[in-house]
Structure 1
Amino acid sequence: MNDVFGNVHLGYVVIETRKFADWRRFGVDAIGMAMETLDHGTMRFRLDDRECRFLLHYGPAEDATAIGWHIDDHETFDRVLARVVDRGVPVTEGTPDEAAHRGVERLWRFPGPKGLAQEVFTTPVANPNPVKGFVTGEGGLGHIAVTSVQPHKVRGYYNTVFDARLTDYVDETISGVKLKIRFLRVNSRHHSVAVAATGGLKLDPIRTRIQHLNIQVADLDDMTQAYQRVRELGFGMALSVGQHTNDRELSFYARTPSGFEWEVGWNPVAIDESTWEPATYQGISIWGHTPVGQTVLDRLAQFKRAAQSLREQEETVPALSGAGIPDD
Structure 2
Amino acid sequence: MNRPGNTSASTSVFGSVHLGYLVVETERFADWRRFGGDAIGMHRDDLSRDVTRFRLDDQECRFLLRRGPAEDVVATGWHIDGHTAFERIEARIRAHGVPLQEGTAEEAALRGVERLLRFPGPKGITQEIYTTPVRSAEPLRMLSSGFVTGEAGMGHVAITSTRPARLRGYFDTVFDARLTDRIDETISGVKLKIRFLRVNERHHSIAVAAVRGLPIDPVRTRVQHLNIQTATLDDLARSYQRVHELGFDMALSVGQHTNDKELSYYARTPSGFEWEVGWNPVVVDESTWEPSTHQGISIWGHTPMGRTIVDKLGQFRLAARSLARVEDTVPAIGGNGVPED
TM-score bracket for the superposition, by shorter chain length? over 0.9
The residue matched to 1:105 in structure 2 has which SS?
coil
Tell me, in whole angstroms, the C-alpha distance in 1 between the residues paired with 2:17 and 2:222.
Answer: 21
The residue matched to 1:215 in structure 2 has which SS?
strand
Q: Deviations over 1:268-311 (max 9, x none)?
A: 00000000000000000000000000011111110010000000
- Tell whether 2:212 aligns with 1:199: yes
- Tell whether 2:37 aligns with 1:54: no
Work out whether residues 88 and 319 of structure 1, in 8 Å CA contact, stay in contact via their aligned partners in 2. Answer: yes
- For 2:162, give the aligned amino acid: V
In structure 2, the residue matched to 1:68 is 77
> Equivalences for 1:237-256 in 2 at 5 Å?
237-256=250-269
Q: What percent identity do the matched residue pairs reach?
A: 69
- For 1:208, give the aligned amino acid: T
Question: By how many angstroms is 1:202 displaced?
Answer: 1.5
Tell me, in whole angstroms, the C-alpha distance in 2 between the residues paired with 1:129 and 1:278.
Answer: 42
Question: By how many angstroms is 1:200 displaced?
Answer: 1.7
Tell me, in whole angstroms, the C-alpha distance in 2 between the residues paired with 1:201 and 1:166.
Answer: 22
The residue matched to 1:55 in structure 2 has which SS?
strand
Runs of 4+ in 1 over 6 A off after TM superposition: none
- Tell whether 2:285 aligns with 1:272: yes
The residue matched to 1:77 in structure 2 has which SS?
helix
Tell me, in whole angstroms, the C-alpha distance in 1 between the residues paired with 2:235 and 2:266.
Answer: 14
> Equivalences for 1:176-325 in 2 at 5 Å?
176-325=189-338
Question: By how many angstroms is 1:106 displaced?
Answer: 1.9
> Equivalences for 1:125-140 in 2 at 5 Å?
125-131=134-140, 132-140=145-153
Gap regions ≥5 residues in structure 2:
1-9
Q: Deviations over 1:75-127 (max 9, x none)?
A: 11111011001110000000000000000012000000000000001110111
Question: By how many angstroms is 1:129 displaced?
Answer: 3.3
Structure 2-normalised TM-score? 0.95
- For 1:233, give the aligned amino acid: L
The residue matched to 1:135 in structure 2 has which SS?
coil
Work out whether residues 42 and 58 of structure 1, in 8 Å CA contact, stay in contact via their aligned partners in 2. Answer: yes
The residue matched to 2:235 in structure 1 has which SS?
helix
The residue matched to 1:273 in structure 2 has which SS?
coil
In structure 1, the residue matched to 2:5 is none
Tell me, in whole angstroms, the C-alpha distance in 1 between the residues paired with 2:49 and 2:20.
Answer: 24
Q: Deviations over 1:48-77 (max 9, x none)?
A: 111000000101110000000000111111
Q: Deviations over 1:123-174 (max 9, x none)?
A: 1011113544110011001000000010000000000000000000000011
The residue matched to 1:206 in structure 2 has which SS?
coil
In structure 1, the residue matched to 2:7 is none
Moved more, 178-187 or 292-301: 292-301
Question: By how many angstroms is 1:193 displaced?
Answer: 0.2
Structure 1-normalised TM-score? 0.99
Work out whether residues 50 and 130 of structure 1, in 8 Å CA contact, stay in contact via their aligned partners in 2. Answer: no
Tell me, in whole angstroms, the C-alpha distance in 1 between the residues paired with 2:332 and 2:160.
Answer: 21
In structure 2, the residue matched to 1:112 is 121
The residue matched to 1:241 in structure 2 has which SS?
strand
Question: By how many angstroms is 1:327 displaced?
Answer: 2.6
Tell me, in whole angstroms, the C-alpha distance in 2 between the residues paired with 1:69 and 1:27.
Answer: 21
In structure 2, the residue matched to 1:123 is 132
The residue matched to 2:317 in structure 1 has which SS?
helix
- Tell whether 2:3 aligns with 1:3: no
Tell me, in whole angstroms, the C-alpha distance in 1 between the residues paired with 2:139 and 2:189.
Answer: 45
Question: By how many angstroms is 1:21 displaced?
Answer: 0.2
Tell me, in whole angstroms, the C-alpha distance in 2 between the residues paired with 1:242 and 1:265.
Answer: 10
Gap regions ≥5 residues in structure 1:
none
Equivalent pairs, count: 328
- Tell whether 2:97 aligns with 1:84: no
